[in-house]
Structure 1
């Protein structure tokens, strides 16, 4: 005899896996930002004074910044794409589980929480 899996537990597991995948995507984005921030001093113009009365072109800095950002993002794009596909699959699985078990999953999820002071809800 096999036990039927509890929809609430399945939903909780799927949601936790989804949160982990989302954290991985955010971590990759933070790493790209951190590397870009470290490169900013190299992108700034070498001279601090105007040469022959001509101010440095701010567009040149932005072009260098954008090209470096595109290069860093391209390096990590396969990883970002894979995590995004995984996140989409997890979203579909959560939606399917909720549709399949409908009220049972939502009601059992709510029954596992208790109200605390101020109307907030605390998981058991």
Structure 2
């Protein structure tokens, strides 16, 4: 896995650990907000929208990727929060736990998909 995948996979767990800081801590707020705005969507984009982040892409492609990441993050956050609200189990810690686990699973799935894709290409080139 690349360092980007490791960072995304671990970011949710860092945000979850930061919830132990006092509620008024600016560091706690900044880390949690950054995680909620970026990481779940980035994990999903690494799995399903990998062509968005191609090296040498122009500024329009990077802007498209940024909008996709933020939109995906907000959507996944809203879905997790709604599910927890409907089950009368919503807390910040539970929401972060669900999103951290989801982000980690999406990153691991993208790594496996990439590995399988490379193995398939290697087998196809041998024929």
Q: Same fold by TM (over 0.5)?
A: no
TM-score, with structure 1 as normaliser: 0.30
Structure with the largest fraction of strand: 1
TM-score if structure 2 supplies the norm length?
Answer: 0.29
Q: Which has the higher helix share?
A: 2
